[in-house]
Amino acid sequence: MNTKHTLLIIGAGPAGLAIAGRLRKAGIPFEILEQSQNVGNAWHNHYDRLHLHTVKQWSHLPHLPFPADYPLYVPRKMLTEYFADYAKHFDIKPRFGQKVSSIKKLDQGGWQVSTEKGDIFEAKQVIVATGVNRVPNVPTWSGQENFKGDISHSVSYKNPSSYQGKRVLVVGMGNTGAEVALDLSDKGVETFISVRNPISVVPRDLNGRPVQVTSKQLAKLPLGLGDWLGSQIRKLYFGNLSKYGLESSKMHPAVQLRETGKTPIVDIGTIQAIKDGKIKVMKDIDHFTKTGVQFKNGQHQELDSVLLATGYKAKVEDFLERADELLDQYGCPKQPIADGYHKGIYFLGFDNYKLGGILGTITTDSADILAHLLGEV
């Protein structure tokens, strides 16, 4: 099959839905390709206890707020229901089961998009909405092939039921690692967490008030005063974490986000579980043994399971030609609207450098993309 379209969207996750909703409201026709059989598919597969860490009033997609009865921090299942309702509301009907294998520039202008099914689509403009979390990052270590236990990425983790009675190491203390470790320890699983780098952590709520709301207000203060105040608040709230094996980052969380795209840990109880001894902090892994892991400080721990909370990669270079020209040092597109050779290509859902979470950024970036598209039209 070879079809021609004015505008093609790749991916029907929250980013693809957001721009599709804006386009529908603006009366601009589009086609949308999705490799799975669901809209918002990744959220169907995340672990059971996951909730948004951002408040609902800043996390909905364009032109359709969350239902009034949704809680302040929306749970995973409700979010998937909202995505389905959003698609229905805006009459968004993706072509499911269409995994894109290549995007190439046409000699006569525009782009050719090929899928693994062998279908070919041509479009003047292509919006890549496959997101920063497309491909699990799976590091390897010496000796892991001899480990008698199991090693899996957190993308496959659902709940603690299959880990009862086991000794489990979570590798990585980003938001996923911190919450998975908490989930395990809450159900009595003997839990360890390997922390390689200094951490930047903020409480989700402070005195019953979302820290996200407070952070936006502090960001308006002059000359770094908001950053300084935030640092003092965190020191008072968490205390000295070094005695629990955690080194605090010297970089302020907001600065870390702006400069590296790394989201600070939004704590919902993991730090207290560490202080209570329910989660044991370990150093960086040196190598695996048959029965466990040897850490770089010389400590050895017997283990039954290892969960890799080691993040994801966008990997748009897997399918977009000359993508390396567009990527920053972390492998993400530098800007939502490409130019030069890649004029006509747009990226949505890759900007991890702003306060407000990826859903909030999707809303603002999709508005910028729509404005540019209207100018092109």
pLDDT digits (tens, 9 = 90+) for 292-311: 999 999 999 999 999 999 99
Q: Of 269, 286, 308, which residue is a domain's last?
A: 308
* Integer CA distances (angstroms), 336 to 18, 44, 323, 331, 354, in order: 14, 26, 13, 14, 13
Q: Alpha-carbon distance 244 to 271, whole Å?
A: 9
The pLDDT, as a whole number, for residue 329 is 86
The pLDDT, as a whole number, for residue 238 is 85
Q: Alpha-carbon distance 217 to 214, whole Å?
A: 5
The pLDDT, as a whole number, for residue 103 is 98
Residue 89: give its domain's CATH number. 3.50.50.60
Q: Alpha-carbon distance 232 to 222, whole Å?
A: 16
Claim to verify: residue 159 and residue 299 sit in the same structural domain: yes
Residue 163 predicted with pLDDT over 90: yes
Q: What is the mean pLDDT of residues 114-126?
A: 96
> pLDDT tens, 321-338?
999 999 988 888 999 999
Q: What is the mean pLDDT of residues 90-109?
A: 96
Claim to verify: residue 277 and residue 163 sit in the same structural domain: yes
Q: Of 253, 277, 308, which residue is a domain's last?
A: 308
- The full length of the chain comes to 377
The pLDDT, as a whole number, for residue 200 is 87
Q: Which of 61, 63, 6 has its CA nearest to residue 32?
A: 6
Q: Alpha-carbon distance 262 to 241, whole Å?
A: 20
Residue 106 predicted with pLDDT over 80: yes
Claim to verify: residue 150 and residue 180 sit in the same structural domain: yes
The pLDDT, as a whole number, for residue 336 is 95
Q: How confident is the model at residue 140 (pLDDT cuts 50, 70, 90)?
A: very high
> pLDDT tens, 242-269?
999 999 877 766 666 666 667 788 999 9
Claim to verify: residue 130 and residue 141 sit in the same structural domain: no
The pLDDT, as a whole number, for residue 157 is 98
The pLDDT, as a whole number, for residue 46 is 95
The pLDDT, as a whole number, for residue 291 is 98
Q: Which of 67, 48, 46 has its CA nearest to residue 56?
A: 67
Domain of residue 238, residue span: 137-308
Claim to verify: residue 8 and residue 127 sit in the same structural domain: yes
Claim to verify: residue 162 and residue 87 sit in the same structural domain: no
The pLDDT, as a whole number, for residue 231 is 65
Claim to verify: residue 103 and residue 61 sit in the same structural domain: yes
Claim to verify: residue 54 and residue 28 sit in the same structural domain: yes
Residue 225 predicted with pLDDT over 60: no
What rounded mean pLDDT belongs to the chain? 91
Task: State the SS3 of the chain.
Answer: CEEEEEEEEECCCHHHHHHHHHHHHHCCCCEEEECCCCCCHHHHHCCCCCECCCCHHHCCCCCCCCCCCCCCCCEHHHHHHHHHHHHHHCCCCCEECCCEEEEEECCCCCEEEEECCCCEEEEEEEEECCCCCCEECCCCCCCHHHCCCEEEEHHHCCCHHHHCCCEEEEECCCHHHHHHHHHHHHCCCEEEEECCCCECEEECEECCEEHHHHHHHHCCCCCCHHHHHHHHHHHHHHCCCHHHCCCECCCCHHHHHHHHCCCCEEECCHHHHHHCCCEEEECCEEEECCCEEEECCCCEEECCEEEECCCEECCHHHCECCHHHHECCCCCECCCECCHHHCCEEECCCCCCCCCHHHHHHHHHHHHHHHHHHHHC
The mean-pLDDT minimum among 115-124, 131-140, 157-166, 250-259 falls in: 250-259
276 contact partners, CB below 8 Å, separation of at least 6 = none
Sign, CA torsion 338/341/343/344: negative
Q: Of 260, 287, 308, which residue is a domain's last?
A: 308
Q: What is the mean pLDDT of residues 30-47?
A: 96
Q: Alpha-carbon distance 345 to 110, whole Å?
A: 9
Sign, CA torsion 54/55/57/63: positive
Residue 214 predicted with pLDDT over 80: no
The pLDDT, as a whole number, for residue 269 is 95
Q: How many domains does the chain have?
A: 2
Q: Which of 140, 184, 134, 138 has its CA nearest to residue 159?
A: 184
Q: How confident is the model at residue 29 (pLDDT cuts 50, 70, 90)?
A: very high
Claim to verify: residue 32 and residue 90 sit in the same structural domain: yes
Q: What is the mean pLDDT of residues 23-40?
A: 97
The pLDDT, as a whole number, for residue 211 is 76
Claim to verify: residue 99 and residue 129 sit in the same structural domain: yes
Q: What is the mean pLDDT of residues 60-83?
A: 97
31 or 200, which is more confident? 31
Q: Alpha-carbon distance 46 to 120, whole Å?
A: 31
Q: Alpha-carbon distance 146 to 39, whole Å?
A: 39
> pLDDT tens, 262-288?
778 899 999 999 999 999 999 999 999
The pLDDT, as a whole number, for residue 207 is 79
Q: Alpha-carbon distance 354 to 364, whole Å?
A: 11
What is the percent of the chain where pLDDT is above 70? 89
Claim to verify: residue 119 and residue 198 sit in the same structural domain: no
Claim to verify: residue 236 and residue 346 sit in the same structural domain: no
Q: How confident is the model at residue 205 (pLDDT cuts 50, 70, 90)?
A: confident
